[in-house]
Amino acid sequence: MECLDIMDIKQNNIKSIMNVLRENNGQSGMTKKEIADKTGLSFATVSNLCNELLERCIVESVKRDAASVGRTPFSVSFAYNRFRTICLNLQMQSVLRLAVLNAKNEMIFCRLYDITSLDRPEEVIRFAKEKFDEYVQEEGEVDCTYIGVGAAVSGIFDLATQTLVNCAVKMYEGVCLKEIVEQEFGLPGYVDNESNLCALSLKNRIPDCKNLVYLHFSEGVGVGIICNGSLLKGHHGYGGEVSYIPLGDKSKYCGECDTYGCIENDLSIPGIVRNYFGMERKDTLEAWKEFAEAVSGREERAMSQVSSIAGYLGELIALLIFIMDPEYVYVGGELAQIYDTLFQDMNKIIRKKCFMYGNRRVNIVKDIQSDMTINSGINEFIYSHWMV
């Protein structure tokens, strides 16, 4: 029989209290009785742990307006602004997005940097630390604690080897990025693919939804899946990998898996750019901008490609709907910028393929703010592992 250490039980109880406080959006905090009712813990346990958290400045006392004559209930609230996370978005080639969030998923700082000249992971993380240090110096003295740093990548974090595999940005392939991040920043480090992080963010944003799929299109094609309320990872961390599913153009060769028709050839941003311009473009984001502008202007060749993209995307979403039976499917990343243009053709294919659903339509939603979704997903990931 597995026996929990007393300290493990205490930590679990603290996390239960913290989760309830963090989920509470009220300005007046929660009384200890309300926390006890919500967590199922005894009032004595809640009272003792809240007093300890108050002493450690993790929670703070909140004054409530007295509704009637008598003693005003004592309430506590999570000290959101005292705790921050560092978010590194590394999912696009040659670009670093650095952000700082508080524990309430509010953006404190966000900036994009060109890292074209950097070709080693250690250089990228060192550069990120330098820019973070510059931000801290510019901000001045602030009463806050950084509890972790997370990195979003377009690849798979192998749970057994703790390395990155199948990375769209090749410099991170086979790299122990988590270890590099922790060494450079001196904080607990967390690494996962961008789509898993987006799915975690949506899980927190829509707590009543237990099944959703998040498709993210950037340097690669990623899928994050919440199944029965939990992030689907699989035995090795490869759960939900769709890059090499043969739903794409069957005439296109994939050098990664030595076969034809991989969906990433046609739905990744480099793949779309290559299909449109007929050649590889190193300035992927700039080339994508040109393509998106052509779509906005409804240029004939661009619209022809949009029709193809809609077809491939519809096939992929239909497959995921049949496998996962989600309530929501989100489409994020750069592809969300042209979502409105491709929606009609995409939706026709989904409705045709998903004939079993009848009138029970899946909510398909574009996420035009997916960079923020990634950051809040990193925040949730760090917070869930935080040893208070």
Terminus-to-terminus CA distance in the chain, angstroms? 27
| pTM confidence score | 0.90
Please indicate, yes or no, whether residues 290 and 255 belong to a single structural domain of this protein.
yes
Please indicate, yes or no, whether residues 240 and 326 belong to a single structural domain of this protein.
yes
- Does 1 reside within a domain? no
- Considering its fold, how many domains does the chain have in total? 3
Please indicate, yes or no, whether residues 73 and 95 belong to a single structural domain of this protein.
no
- Does 314 reside within a domain? yes
Please indicate, yes or no, whether residues 154 and 216 belong to a single structural domain of this protein.
no
Please indicate, yes or no, whether residues 225 and 325 belong to a single structural domain of this protein.
yes
Please indicate, yes or no, whether residues 191 and 253 belong to a single structural domain of this protein.
no
Confidence of residue 4 (pLDDT cuts 50, 70, 90): very low
Please indicate, yes or no, whether residues 256 and 365 belong to a single structural domain of this protein.
yes
- Does 352 reside within a domain? yes
Higher pLDDT, 280 or 217: 217
Kindly state the tokens that stand for 163: 């390395």
- Does 306 reside within a domain? yes
Please indicate, yes or no, whether residues 272 and 143 belong to a single structural domain of this protein.
no
pLDDT tens, position by position, 321-378: 999 999 999 999 999 999 999 999 999 999 888 887 666 778 999 999 999 999 999 9
Domain termination residue (choose one: 27, 59, 78): 78
Domain termination residue (choose one: 52, 78, 104): 78
Please indicate, yes or no, whether residues 360 and 222 belong to a single structural domain of this protein.
yes
Distance CA 233, CA 175 (A): 19
pLDDT tens, position by position, 264-285: 999 999 999 999 998 777 788 8
Give a three-class secondary structure readout of the chain: CCCCCHHHHHHHHHHHHHHHHHHCCCCCCEEHHHHHHHHCCCHHHHHHHHHHHHHCCCEEEECCCCCCCCCCCCEEEECHHHEEEEEEECCCCCEEEEEEEECCCCEEEEEEEECCCCCCHHHHHHHHHHHHHHHHHHHCCCCCEEEEEEEEECCEECCCCCCEECCCCHHHCCCCHHHHHHHHHCCCEEEEEHHHHHHHHHHHHCCCCCCEEEEEECCCEEEEEEECCEECCCCCCCCCCCCCCCCCCCCCEECCCCEECCCHHHHCHHHHHHHHHCCCCCCHHHHHHHHHHHHHCCCHHHHHHHHHHHHHHHHHHHHHHHHHCCCEEEEEEHHHHHHHHHHHHHHHHHHHHCHHHCCCCCEEEECCCHHHHHHHHHHHHHHHHCCC
Domain at 360, CATH number: 3.30.420.40
Please indicate, yes or no, whether residues 133 and 175 belong to a single structural domain of this protein.
yes
Domain membership of residue 13 as a residue range:
6-78
Please indicate, yes or no, whether residues 364 and 377 belong to a single structural domain of this protein.
no
Instruction: Assess whether pLDDT exceeds 50 at residue 223.
Output: yes
Instruction: Assess whether pLDDT exceeds 60 at residue 90.
Output: yes
Beta bridge partners of 224: 214
- In degrees, to the nearest 5, what angle opens at C-alpha 165 toward C-alphas 115 and 153? 40
- Does 312 reside within a domain? yes
